[in-house]
Amino acid sequence: MSRAFTAQVIRNVPLDTHHFLLEVDTGEARPIADAGVAGSAGFAERAGITANTGITANAGITANTGSRRNDGVAPDVVVAPDVVVAPDVVVEGFSPSPGQFCMIGPSGAVEPFLKRPFSVLDYGDGKASFLIRVCGKATLALKNLPAGRSIDVIGPLGRGFSPEMEEDEPLFIAAGGVGIACVYLLLKKHPRAALFYGVRDKRSLLLYDMLRALSDNIRVTSDDGSVGVKGDVISALAGSVTEFLNKPARKNPGGGDRAVKICCCGPHAMLAGAASTFASLNVELYVSLEERMACGVGACLGCAVRTNAGYRTVCKDGPVFNAKDVVWNF
């Protein structure tokens, strides 16, 4: 279950001029309870949100608190069906699935007003880390936070990668640019998977040493050929998947071919290319979509995308979708 909590920055680790790792302390995190911060009833009222609706805006929580229980512990504040704030208990069990994300912003910040979504890169031992690219005021503000500074976090959120896998079943993973953050936990969970990592150039190759510590089955492509193989990552992936599909040994014992599972995260053009490339093959393709988000819990509908079942929100119904369910504009 997702929670809204305040955590302390452990450190900011610059990777290059545009990217950094934000490491936060989740072991000592406290649930958001102050009426002056996003995630409280007071904040919701100032944001113009109606009480008792279960709606959030930037996780500004609706005032649905009820009365204090006899045991002296305040009841949970309902943010949305899957998100609560427990004012008087320490946050425990922060355990995101691969592909899930958190909404993050400096505690008490008025500008920028909205939190920003970031994939959970890694977690454990009371810590969580996020790969962030500086691209505006919000990310610059996070980059400049010193150790010990508080940030507000809502998460983990969304539906991540959860392909049903046999123990010996192969898995292909593809990431483009900072999309590598979304699949790091997936590779950690499935170290035998083949990772295809596409970047613009050698300077854009992020976290390679961390990835190599998980797996030696990593294939890098770059647009200019300065690192790995020159070309786009989907073409390299398609070559390997096609080769694998043609192997007679991949037949099921009972007959018939097993569908190959592929998980992708990257720019929209990359994902659309993957969907087009593998549409006619015996492949289960899962894609993590990226859209601008305001609330992170499906309330504002700002991240809605068109699917075969109608419009769905990336933050709540995704960000991971079966590619066959998405309506693509090839």
Residue with tokens 């990552």: 233
The pLDDT of residue 110 is above 60: yes
Burial class (CB in 10 A: 0-12, 13-18, 19+), 187: buried
Per-residue pLDDT band for 33 (boundaries 50, 70, 90) equals low
Give the CATH number, domain containing residue 235: 3.40.50.80
Residue 34 CA, chain-centre distance (Å), reads 27
The pLDDT of residue 330 is above 70: no
Which of 107, 129, 157 delimits the end of a domain? 157
For 113-130, what is the mean pLDDT? Answer: 92
pLDDT-wise least confident of 20-34, 117-131, 257-271: 20-34
Q: Are residues 16 and 153 in the same domain?
A: yes
Give the CATH number, domain containing residue 149: 2.40.30.10
The pLDDT of residue 305 is above 90: yes
The pLDDT of residue 314 is above 70: yes
Q: Are residues 104 and 15 in the same domain?
A: yes
How many independent structural domains does the chain possess? Answer: 2
The pLDDT of residue 81 is above 70: no
Which of 100, 123, 157 delimits the end of a domain? 157
Per-residue pLDDT band for 38 (boundaries 50, 70, 90) equals very low
Q: What backbone torsions phi and psi does residue 61 show, to the nearest 5 degrees?
A: -90, 140
Q: Are residues 186 and 226 in the same domain?
A: yes
- Separation of alpha carbons 151 and 107, rounded Å: 5
Q: Are residues 229 and 294 in the same domain?
A: yes
Residue 26's pLDDT is what?
87
In a domain, 165, yes or no: no
Cβ count within 10 A of residue 89: 12
Q: Are residues 138 and 275 in the same domain?
A: no
With a pLDDT cut of 90, the percent of the chain lying above it is 63
Q: Are residues 86 and 178 in the same domain?
A: no
Helices (H) and strands (E) in the chain, counts: 6, 18
Ranked by mean pLDDT, which of 38-42, 51-55, 314-318 comes out on top?
314-318
Residue 257's pLDDT is what?
65
What domain range includes position 204? 171-325
Per-residue pLDDT band for 1 (boundaries 50, 70, 90) equals low
What's the pTM?
0.81
Ranked by mean pLDDT, which of 43-52, 104-113, 137-146 comes out on top?
137-146
313 has which bridge partners? Answer: 304
Residue 140 CA, chain-centre distance (Å), reads 19
Residue 46's pLDDT is what?
33
> Strand 283-288 to strand 320-322: parallel, antiparallel, or no bridges (unpaired)?
antiparallel
For 61-71, what is the mean pLDDT? Answer: 33
In a domain, 166, yes or no: no
What residue type is assigned to position 17 of the chain?
Answer: T
At 153, list the tokens: 């976090």
Per-residue pLDDT of 189-237, as tens digits, reads 999 999 999 999 999 999 999 999 999 999 999 999 999 999 999 999 9
pLDDT-wise least confident of 88-92, 169-173, 309-313: 88-92
Residue 34's pLDDT is what?
42
Q: Are residues 103 and 179 in the same domain?
A: no
